[in-house]
Every structure is written in C-alpha cells, then in structure tokens.
Amino acid sequence: MKKSILTLAILGVISALLLSFVYQVTTPIIAERQEEDKKVIILTVLPESDNYKRVEKNGIVLYEGNKEGEVAMIASGPGFGGTIELIVGANPFQRKLYAVKVLSHSETPGLGSHITGEEFAKNFIDKPFGDYQVVKRTAVDPLEVEAITGATVSSEMVVNIVKNAMNQMLVAYGFDPISVTSAPITTGATDASTGASVTTGATDTTTSATDTSTSATDTTTSATDTATGATDTATSATVTDTTSTATVTDTASSATVTTGATDAATGATVTTGATETTGVTDTNTSATASTTTDTDTGATSVGGEG
Amino acid sequence: MKFWKIFKNGLFDENPTFRIVIGMCPTLAITNAAINGLVMGLATAFVLLTTEIIISLVKKLIPENVRIPSYVLIIATMVTTVDYFLKAFLPGIASALSLFIPLIVVNCIILGRAEAFASRNSVVDSIADALGMGLGFTGALLLLSSIREILGSGTIFGFEVLGNWYPRMSIMTMPAGAFISLGILIGLVNLVSRKGVK
C-alpha cells in the first residue's frame, strides 16, 4: 500500500515537473504565433496598410490601419452550424469594402465550409457598401453575392454578418447606417440562441420601465420597435434584453436588422440616443410576445459584442 | 530478427485499425484530410513510442495494483507534451485536430499496448512494438484520409488532383464517409489476408 502511494506520488511529481518545463518552453511561442497570425490576418484585409492600431469606438474593437481610412473589425453571427466569425476590412469613409475573411465557423464540411474558399471571398473584394443580396446564379450586380452551391443559408448568414459589420463601422465613425434587409436565420443547429448576440455598440438603457409587450409582433422580416418616448440604438444587431426580473429574455437569434421592427412596448422608457435605424429582429421562438409581461426594472439591455 | 517480427506484427498482422479495430474515435473523426490523418498518426505513434519505452523501463518499479493509473499518468504527460508542441510549431494542424490530440490519452491503442506489451517485454521489443503499431496506425489513417480527401474534396494534402470535371462527393468528408470508407477498407484487407491463408 505504502509503495503504491509512493509510486504514484513520485510519478506525479516527475510528470508535473516535465509538463511545467514544456509549458514554459512552448507558451511564449504559442502566444507569439497567435499574435502573428492575427496581425497577418488583419493586414490581409487592409490592402495598403502595413501596420495597425487597436481602437475602441462605441464598445466595438476596431483595427485602424496606418493608411488613412482603412479599418478592420472582427464580426460574428449565427451560421447554419454555429457561430461564424469573420474579419471585415473596409473604408467606412469611402464606403468601400476591401475584403472579408472567415476566421472560424462550424458549417457543414464540403458544403457550407466553402465560405472559407477564395471563390466565395471574391464576392466581397473591393466592393461598395450596400445591401448585398444572395443570388443563386452568376452575380451581375456588384451587390449580388453568388450563393455557394448547396449552402445558400451559410452564404446568406455570412452576408448578414458583413452587412452588420458595415453598419457598425459606419456608426462607429459617425455616419448613418445604410438600410439593409437580412435573410431570416435558419440554423441547422439545435440551439437557436447560438451566436445570438451580435453587438450593437449601443447600450439600451431601460430606466425603471415596464416593458409590457402586448400583442407585439415580432417577426423576422418586418417589425417595428415602438418604445414610448424612446429611440433605441441598435446599430446593426441583435439586442439581448437582459432583464433583471427576467421573465422574458428576448433571444434575438438573428443578427438580422430589418428596417422597421415592431415591438410595441407600452410604458417602456428606453433612453438611448439613437434611432433604431436598422431595426432589431426579435425572434421570440413563438414570434409573438403577447401575454408575456416583461418587466425591466432599471434593467440595462446590453448588446454583447459579437 | 525478433525486432522485425514484432515490428511487422504491428504494421500488418495486428494492424490496430484494420485488424484489431481499436482507436476508432480519431480514425473516424479526423481522417477528412490527408494531413490530419498523417499528423494524428504520427502524434499517436510518438506517444506510443515514448510511453512504451518508459513503461518497459519502470515496469518492475510500479506495483501491480496501481499500474493502470501510473500508465495513464505517463501517457497523459506525453500527450500534453505533444499537444503543446503541436500548438507551438504546427498551429494550423493543431487547430484542425483540436480536441482529438488531448484525447490520445484515452486512445485504447496506447493503454492497450502499454498493458499488453510494454509491461511484459524488454525495452528493445517495446520499441519494435511501438514503431510497428504506431506506423501501422499512421499508415491506416493516411490511407483512409487520402481516400476521403481525394473523393470528397478532389485534393491530396491540399493539392488539387481531380479537376473541376469531378463532382466532389462531399459525403466523404463527413462522418458517414468515414464509416463507409473504413468498412470497405477493412473488407478489402480481410479479403486479401484470407487469400493468403487458403
């Protein structure tokens, strides 16, 4: 018995020593690699910059290239199989998109995974900002994105994220966001809330309000957010209502921002400076947030960053 | 002579994938591209080699009743080492293999060989066994992943071998393709080996 304990203890100590050595040797290399990778990726979407600096605007992390106007940002949103993370390089001053690169995704291998391919990436190279549409044929208009065969949903989801990113950039630099339509979210994933919250840099402060959503129609495509005396800045995204009394959590599973969403909130006071220009799609699973009483007591609705 | 016999045993006669059919988790999960199969096979072979050497050296020092936890500890140490080194020097592949590298710890080939071979044989024989089994596993993964990559993506190690005329069988890159191709390969191996017996 004593011998067993001793053997295991000695083995454990040797193993710990060895591993701490390996850890010390490799960790700086791993960190350096990741930093380098990130740098390389950021610079690939900024055509003329050879360096960048990290800035934060409206709570969004942006990477400003040393060439005037070139900005990159990491954007994410729901895909068909899980969250898709992209890096978008653009010039919000000239309203020009430089390139889009997929950082991570869990789309179907062999189908949706082609969003990482060059063929698909071409759709976003040196394009104007605008309301991109996915088409199932050869793209003729610059604002048309050719869907990947067998992966229309994945293509549409990427386009949604790109559109949101463009608007977030525009707002971050003080421009008006462009009006965009978004494809409804279709996920193959079981968890609808995956990747639900896409940032809005806006903080949606509901001051001691009772958000009684009576007969609100929350549809993916058309809805209106009428908050009494309030305008809600959701620059391009999904707002996750984190209510303190938390009866209803609006899982806006889509990054879909539709012009004019309906969310009749009676007596809700939402104080935030801006207009919900692009709208929010509140996808309540049942799509009707009727009888539910959503009491936001001094709650702050925060759109987490995507 | 004995060395080669043991080596050949692992490579062919008792090939872990096609004959004993163990270590199926990584075999089915990561063989969608040839490079993944190769690296996974080599990582497993490395862990197998180091653990078999260590275990055959210390086998007399480890009391019978704690041998399994001791083996697991040794294996886990080697696997963690491999994991860190891959992350540091082959980050792309490390992210493609993601959690399957740490899962080498529970790969039954390694614990199985530690228990069945290294704990009863000399260091030299254990090296032969580890090399045979490790390369047998690597070869099997490489074969399976090459077939899946060629049929599923039309490429091998990322290089295009089949032109655009070839309709990509995307099922081959998905889990179902792993089962189908593994089944056919095991069937073929059995067919060939039976012919030899008769």
The full DSSP string for B2-67 is: HHHHHHHIIIIIT-TTTTS---HHHHHHSTTSHHHHHHHHHHHHHHHHHHHHHHHHHTTTS-GGGH
Indicate whether A2 belongs to any domain.
no
Looking at the complex, does the CB of residue B176 fall below 8 Å from at least one CB of chain A?
Answer: no
In a domain, A233, yes or no: yes
pLDDT tier for residue B46 given thresholds of 50, 70 and 90 = very high
pLDDT, mean of residues A64-71:
88
Residue A159 has pLDDT above 60, yes or no: yes
Identify the residue with better confidence: B194 or A88. A88
Most confident by average pLDDT, A21-30, A110-119, B161-170? A21-30
pLDDT confidence band for B160 (50 / 70 / 90): confident
On the question of pLDDT at A285 being above 50, the answer is no
**A8–chain B Cβ distance below 8 A for any pair:** yes
More confidently predicted of A230 and B66? B66
CB contact under 8 A, B63 and A7: yes
Q: Which of B84, B89, B174 sits opposite A109 (nearest CB)?
A: B174
Chain B hits for A6, Cβ within 8 Å: none
Higher pLDDT: A292 or B119? It is: B119
What is the pLDDT, as a whole number, of residue B170? 82
Asked if B73 and A15 come within 8 Å (Cβ–Cβ), the reply is yes
Say if residue A92 is in the same domain as residue A140: yes
Residue identified by tokens 């994220």 is A161
* Residue A41 domain-assigned (yes or no): no
Which residues on chain B are in Cβ contact (under 8 Å) with A40? none
Same domain, A165 and A209: no
- What range does the domain containing A249 cover? 196-306
Q: Which amino acid is at A267?
A: G
Question: What mean pLDDT do residues A188-211 have?
Answer: 40
Predicted local confidence at residue A187, as pLDDT: 65
Same domain for A301 and A233: yes
pLDDT at residue A231, as a whole number: 38
Tell me whether residues A4 and B84 touch, CB distance under 8 A: no
Q: Is the pLDDT of residue A202 over 50?
A: no
Phi, then psi, of A106 in degrees rounded to 5: -130, 45
- For the segment A162-190, the average pLDDT, to the nearest whole number, is 80
Average pLDDT over residues A274-301: 38
Judged against a pLDDT cut of 80, whether residue A134 lies above it is answered with: yes
Return all residues near B154 (Cβ < 8 A) that are at least 6 apart.
B160, B161, B162, B163, B166, B168
Please tell me if residue B154 touches chain A, with a CB cutoff of 8 Å: no
A30 touches B at CB < 8 Å: yes
Listed residue (A297, A60, A56) closest to A202, CA to CA = A60
CB-facing half-sphere around the CA of B184: CA atoms within 13 A: 10
- Percent of chain B whose predicted confidence (pLDDT) is above 90: 48
A33:B88 CB<8 A: yes
Give the nearest chain B residue to A34 (CA atoms).
B91
Q: Let me know if residue A141 belongs to a domain.
A: yes
Does residue A268 have a pLDDT over 80? no
- In this structure, are A210 and A114 located in the same domain? no
Structural domains in chain A (count):
2
Shortest Cα–Cα distance, B84 to chain A (Å): 6
Chain A residues touching residue B171 (CB < 8 angstroms): 110
pLDDT at B185: 93
- As a whole number, mean pLDDT of residues A118-146 equals 87
> What is the pLDDT confidence band of residue B168, given thresholds at 50, 70 and 90?
confident
Confidence tier at B144 by pLDDT (50, 70, 90): very high
| Confidence at residue B110, expressed as pLDDT on a 0 to 100 scale | 93
Question: Would you say residue A46 lies in a domain?
Answer: no
Across the range B161-182, mean pLDDT stands at: 87
**Does B67 contact chain A (CB < 8 Å)?**
no
- Interface with B, mutate which of A30, A37, A80, A154 (most B CBs under 10 A): A30
Q: Decide if A33 is inside a domain.
A: no
Tell me if chain B has a CB within 8 Å of the CB of A12: yes
Averaged over B90-96, what is the pLDDT? 82
Of residues A145 and A208, more confidence is placed in A145
Mean pLDDT of chain B: 89
Domain boundary residue, one of A172, A204, A239: A172
Check residue A244 and give its pLDDT.
37
Using an 8 Å Cβ cutoff, are A84 and A102 in contact? yes
Tell me if ipTM is over 0.85: no
Distance CA B43, CA B103 (A): 11
Same domain, A62 and A152: yes
B86 contacts B39 by C-beta, under 8 angstroms: yes
A214 touches chain B (CB under 8 A): no
Flag whether residue A22 sits within 8 Å of chain B, measured between CB atoms: yes
Query: According to the model, what pLDDT value does residue B76 have?
Result: 93
Domain presence at residue A107: yes
Q: What number is the average pLDDT over the span A104-126?
A: 85
pLDDT value, residue B148: 93
A103-107, B34-38, B56-60, B174-178: segment of lowest average pLDDT: A103-107
Max avg pLDDT among A109-118, A251-260, B140-149:
B140-149
Q: Which of A172, A188, A209 is the last residue of a domain?
A: A172
| Range with lowest mean pLDDT among A24-38, A207-221, B10-24 | A207-221
- Is B173's CB within 8 Å of A110's CB? yes
Tell me what pLDDT residue B56 has: 93
- Could you tell me if A220 and A138 lie in one domain? no
Residue A13 falls inside a structural domain:
no
pLDDT at A67 over 50: yes
Return the SS3 of B71. Answer: helix
- Domain identity same for A237 and A135: no
- Do residues A146 and A202 both lie within one domain? no
Q: What pLDDT does A201 receive?
A: 36
A211 and A136 fall within a common domain: no
Alpha carbons A173 and A166: distance in angstroms, whole number = 11
| Cβ-contact A70, A91 below 8 angstroms | yes
Q: What separation in angstroms does the CA of A209 have from each of A231, A271, A298, B31?
A: 14, 10, 7, 55
Query: B62: which chain A residues are within 8 Å (Cβ-Cβ)?
Result: 7
Residues A154 and A215 in one domain: no
At residue A126, the 3 state secondary structure works out as coil
Position A266 scores a pLDDT of 36
CB-based contact A3 B63, cutoff 8 Å: yes
Q: What is the pLDDT of residue B198?
A: 53
Average confidence score pLDDT of chain A: 68
- Compute, in degrees rounded to 10, the torsion defined by CA atoms B107, B110, B111, B112: 100
Q: Domain check: are A166 and A202 in the same one?
A: no
pLDDT at A247 (0 to 100):
34
